[in-house]
């Protein structure tokens, strides 16, 4: 089984309502007489952990209540702490229930607010709201920092902990407080949770051009894009504007398939890691690409798979990238399944564009920089208008 088949990239962060799922990388079971040599703790450390448990059982004020001192909760808490100690927000442990829930998102429907978040130096940062979700409708923006949820500070909490605070029944509201750049005061948002249904691709005819908004790279994106391009050709479109603004990424295979609809051959992305099997190069599938002039819109909410697609387009000089520098999430997470049906996602490599540029923590610079944000009123959307004018020029129009 190739690395491509085993690894599917996580989105840039955690999606509120459920976590994004990934591919599978099986962990070999520890067997043999040398197993004990690999234990990460000394006998004294193990004894201290046991002593802590006994102290809690004996002295904690509610320690005698049924279920308060729970071995499984303590075990999972210890494992999460061990994983979080390496300070990589994308390397994370997931208990069996959480891992099962993660499978929902890539089917394109889940409950929540419709935002992707990550943790940076203890701060909970919005990567992007999903188009037409509750978070998008109230006006949350990429790089907003969630400071409080229902008057409780979330500083220092993991993304998973914040997710649990934001989850809840559809129809019930949650209040959050956000810090935004260049705004002096915290901004309160009251957001009503919904069952989120993701349509990954949206098509519009704009004069002689096709406007295609890709919200996420999921299992349906490649087929939905193919249908959109077929419609565009039927409408005699002379060029395509692909909007990846606020697209936080998704599945790596989906990204390669989508890129192959624009680039006929050559490298889409390479992965560079510490061990041999974490290093791989993925190529476009030949014979699928169209030859229509292409412009791609990106912003600070474009992450992961979006950056891979835009980087391939830029390096192959297949089209023009317009907007602002992307988020800078360019790492590969692999899921190691554990015997109790829990799992650990581990960052095993970083992505590089065809030219060798490492995306992680840097972001992709557009060919043409235009400051702005996505607006429902397209006439007032400076980034969209500039991208459209660049496309019209490439189409031979004034």
pLDDT at 38: 56
pLDDT one-digit tens code per residue, 342-378: 999 899 999 999 999 999 999 999 999 999 989 889 9
Query: Which of these is catalytic: 11, 158, 270, 304?
Result: 304
Query: Which of these is catalytic: 148, 329, 386, 392?
Result: 329
Q: What is the dihedral of CA 344, 7, 327, 112, to 10 degrees?
A: -60
CA atoms of 331 and 324, how far apart (whole Å): 20
pLDDT at 227: 97
Run of H or E including 213: strand 209-214
Q: In what order do the strands lie in the sheet with 368-369?
A: 201-206, 209-214, 239-243, 294-298, 320-323, 368-369
* Mean pLDDT of the 171-188 span: 94
* pTM of the shown model: 0.76
Verify whether residue 304 is a known catalytic residue.
yes
Verify whether residue 254 is a known catalytic residue.
no
Of 22-31, 158-167, 236-245, 389-398, which range is least confident? 22-31
Strands 115-120 and 14-15: what pairing? antiparallel
Query: Which of these is catalytic: 136, 315, 360, 381?
Result: 315
DSSP state at residue 35? G
Sign for the CA dihedral angle at 381, 386, 391, 393 comes to: positive
Verify whether residue 329 is a known catalytic residue.
yes
Within 7-143, where are the H helices? Answer: 43-59, 71-84, 96-102, 134-138
* Mean pLDDT of the 69-76 span: 89
Which residue carries 């840097």 as its tokens?
A: 362
pLDDT at 398: 73
Q: Is the pLDDT of residue 29 over 50?
A: no
Answer with the residue of higher pLDDT: 225 or 167: 225
């Amino acid at each position: 089984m190739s690395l491509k088949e085993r690894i599917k990239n996580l989105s840039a962060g955690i999606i509120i309502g459920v976590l994004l799922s990934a591919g599978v990388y099986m962990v070999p079971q520890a067997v043999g007489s040398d197993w004990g040599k690999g234990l990460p703790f000394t006998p004294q450390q193990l004894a201290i952990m046991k002593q802590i448990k006994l102290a809690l059982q004996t002295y904690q004020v509610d320690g005698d209540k049924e279920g308060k001192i729970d071995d499984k909760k303590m075990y999972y808490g210890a494992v999460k702490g061990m994983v979080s100690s390496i300070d990589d927000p994308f390397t994370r442990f997931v208990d069996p229930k959480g891992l099962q829930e993660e499978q929902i998102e890539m089917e394109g429907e889940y409950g929540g607010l419709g935002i992707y978040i990550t943790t940076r130096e203890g701060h909970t940062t919005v990567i992007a709201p999903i188009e037409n979700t509750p978070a998008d409708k109230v006006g949350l923006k990429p790089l907003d920092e969630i400071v409080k949820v229902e008057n409780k500070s979330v500083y220092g909490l993991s993304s998973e902990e914040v997710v649990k605070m934001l989850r809840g029944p559809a129809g019930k509201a949650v209040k959050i407080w956000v810090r935004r750049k260049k705004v002096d005061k915290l901004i309160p948002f009251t957001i009503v949770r919904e069952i989120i249904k993701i349509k990954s691709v949206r098509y519009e005819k704009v004069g002689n051009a096709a406007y295609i908004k890709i919200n996420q790279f999921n299992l349906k994106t490649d087929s939905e894009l193919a249908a959109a391009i077929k419609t565009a050709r039927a409408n005699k479109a002379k060029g395509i504007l692909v909007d990846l603004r606020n697209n936080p990424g998704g599945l790596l295979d989906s990204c390669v398939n989508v890129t192959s609809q624009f680039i006929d051959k050559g490298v889409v992305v390479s992965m560079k890691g510490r061990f041999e099997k974490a290093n791989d190069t993925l190529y476009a599938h030949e014979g699928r690409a169209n030859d229509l002039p292409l412009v791609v819109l990106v912003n600070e909410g474009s992450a992961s798979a979006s950056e891979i697609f835009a980087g391939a387009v830029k390096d192959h000089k297949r089209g023009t990238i317009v907007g602002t520098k992307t988020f800078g999430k360019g790492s590969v997470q692999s899921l190691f399944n554990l015997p109790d049906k829990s799992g650990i996602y581990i960052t095993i490599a970083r992505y590089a564009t065809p030219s060798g540029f490492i995306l992680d923590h840097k972001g992709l610079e557009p060919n043409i920089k235009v400051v702005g944000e996505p607006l429902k009123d397209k006439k007032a959307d400076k980034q969209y208008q500039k991208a459209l004018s660049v496309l019209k020029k490439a189409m031979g129009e004034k």
